[in-house]
C-alpha cells in the first residue's frame, strides 16, 4: 500500500512529497516539529503535543500555519490515508519559502506544513523493552535552547551515530559539570540507590518531553514520588535502574552505559510499572 503525506495544502504520495529548495527548514533548520504516538487507533497526548508545538513556534516567532482544529483534521486524515492504528504521526512547521537571507522573510510569507505518518510494530517495541538497550555518554555540545523542539538536530545525529558505532542504541548527553542532561532523542530517568525516581528538571538544558510529563502523572497515580534534580554520571552508573522516555518508545530500560552494567543488567520493575500504566493515564484522541 502506498504511503501518503500532507505538504502545504495537498495530500500527495509519500514518494512524491517535496518542499521547495528555498524552504527555510531546509536552508537554516528554521523550523520546529512534533511526533505523536498512535496506539490502538488513538493519538496519544495530542493536546500536550500541540501545546508544545505552539510554544516552540512562539519561541522562534513563527506564526501557526492554521487553527488547531484544522491541523488536527489534517493529522487524522493523514493517519486514515496511511491506515495507521499503531505507529506515529510527524508534523513539521517551517518559516516558509523565501529568497535565502538570514533575516526573517516578509510577513506575507506563509509557514510551511508537512505531516507524515507510519506504522510501527508493537511486537518489535515489546522485544526491545524486554531486552533493554545499551547507551554511551557524550559531551553535551548542543545550543542553549534545546527546550525548543527545533529540527536543528545535528549534534543529536552525531551523538546517535557515535552510539551506533559503539554497539549502543542511545547517546546520553553530559554537561560541562559532569551532570546528565538527556538522551539523543529521549529524556532520561534513574531510580537512585535509595530507591527514589529521579529525572533532571525541565529547564532550558533539556526538552520538556510530553511522555516525561505524562509519566510524572502516571507515577503520581501509582504512588511513586518523582524527584526533579540534577545527577552525575557516577550516580547514574550506580543507580538501581536507568531508563529513557519518548513518544514512540514510552519507557525503555537502559541496561548498560559505556560498557558498565546497570544493576543486574536487566530491565527493572519501576520502568515496567510505569510503562504498563502509561496508556490508561495518557490522553487518547480517536482518529
Query: Cα(138)–Cα(176) distance, rounded to whole angstroms?
Result: 11
Spatial distance between the Cα atoms of 22 and 257, rounded to a whole number of angstroms: 41
To the query of whether residue 193 is one of the catalytic residues in this protein, the response is no
* Residues in CB range of 179: below 8 A, 6 or more apart: 200, 230, 231, 232, 233
187-225 pLDDT, tens digit per residue, is 999 999 999 999 999 999 999 999 999 999 999 999 999
Distance, CA of 49 to CA of 56 (rounded, Å): 10
Neighbours of 43 (CB within 10 A): 23
Q: How far apart are CA 60 and CA 78, in angstroms?
A: 26
Q: Across the chain, what does the average pLDDT equal?
A: 97
| Residue of 118, 134, 149, 164 with catalytic role | 149
Q: What integer pLDDT is reported at residue 176 of this predicted model?
A: 97
Residue (of 23, 25, 43) closest to 35 by Cα position? 43
On the question of pLDDT at 93 being above 90, the answer is yes
Cell of 166: 559503539
With cut-offs at 50, 70 and 90, classify the pLDDT of residue 111.
very high
- Structural contact between residues 36 and 45, judged by C-beta atoms closer than 8 angstroms: yes
Neighbours of 21 (CB within 10 A): 9
CA pair distance 162, 270, nearest whole angstrom: 29
Q: Of 115, 86, 90, which Cα lies nearest the Cα of 11?
A: 115
In this predicted model, what pLDDT tens digit does every residue of 229-284 receive, in sequence order?
999 999 999 999 999 999 999 999 999 999 999 999 999 999 999 999 999 999 99
Of all residues in the chain, the percent with pLDDT exceeding 90 is 96
Helix axis angle, 46-59 to 68-82, nearest 10° = 120
Max CA distance (Å), the chain: 59
User: Residue 92: pLDDT band by 50, 70, 90 thresholds?
Assistant: very high
Could you tell me if 199 and 226 are in contact, meaning their C-beta atoms sit under 8 angstroms apart? Answer: yes
Using the Cα atoms of residue 71, residue 73, residue 78 and residue 79 in order, give the sign of their dihedral.
positive
Q: Is 124's pLDDT higher than 90? A: no
8 A C-beta contact, residue 212 and residue 245: yes
Give the pLDDT band (50/70/90) at residue 1: confident
Strands 260-261, 250-257: parallel, antiparallel or unpaired by DSSP?
Answer: antiparallel
- The answer, yes or no, to whether residue 125 has pLDDT greater than 90, is no
Amino acid at each position: 500500500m502506498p504511503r501518503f503525506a500532507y505538504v502545504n495544502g495537498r495530500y500527495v504520495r509519500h514518494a512524491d512529497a517535496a518542499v521547495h529548495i528555498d524552504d527555510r527548514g531546509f536552508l537554516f533548520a528554521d523550523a520546529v516539529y512534533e511526533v505523536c504516538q498512535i496506539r490502538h487507533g488513538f493519538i496519544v497526548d495530542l493536546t500536550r503535543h500541540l501545546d508544545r508545538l505552539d510554544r516552540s513556534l512562539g519561541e522562534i516567532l513563527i506564526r501557526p500555519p492554521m487553527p488547531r482544529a484544522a491541523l488536527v483534521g489534517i493529522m487524522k486524515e493523514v493517519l486514515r490515508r496511511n491506515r495507521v492504528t499503531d505507529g506515529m504521526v510527524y508534523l513539521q512547521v517551517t518559516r516558509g519559502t523565501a529568497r535565502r537571507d538570514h533575516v526573517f522573510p516578509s510577513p506575507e510569507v506563509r509557514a510551511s506544513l508537512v505531516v507524515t505518518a507510519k506504522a510501527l510494530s508493537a511486537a518489535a517495541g515489546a522485544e526491545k523493552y524486554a531486552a533493554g538497550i545499551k547507551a554511551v555518554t557524550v559531551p553535551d555540545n548542543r545550543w542553549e535552547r534545546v527546550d525548543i523542539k527545533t529540527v536543528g538536530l545535528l549534534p543529536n545525529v552525531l551523538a546517535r551515530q557515535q552510539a551506533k558505532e559503539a554497539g549502543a542504541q542511545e547517546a546520553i548527553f553530559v554537561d560541562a559539570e559532569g551532570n546528565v542532561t538527556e538522551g539523543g532523542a529521549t529524556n532520561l530517568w534513574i531510580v537512585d540507590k535509595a530507591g527514589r525516581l529521579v529525572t533532571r528538571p525541565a529547564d532550558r538544558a533539556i526538552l520538556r518531553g510530553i511522555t516525561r510529563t505524562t509519566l510524572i502523572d502516571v507515577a503520581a497515580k501509582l504512588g511513586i514520588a518523582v524527584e526533579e534534580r540534577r545527577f552525575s554520571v557516577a550516580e547514574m552508573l550506580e543507580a538501581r535502574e536507568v531508563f529513557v522516555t519518548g513518544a514512540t518508545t514510552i519507557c525503555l530500560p537502559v541496561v548498560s552505559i559505556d560498557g558498565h552494567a546497570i544493576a543486574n543488567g536487566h530491565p527493572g520493575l519501576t520502568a515496567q510499572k510505569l510503562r504498563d500504566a502509561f496508556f490508561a493515564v495518557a490522553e487518547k484522541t480517536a482518529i
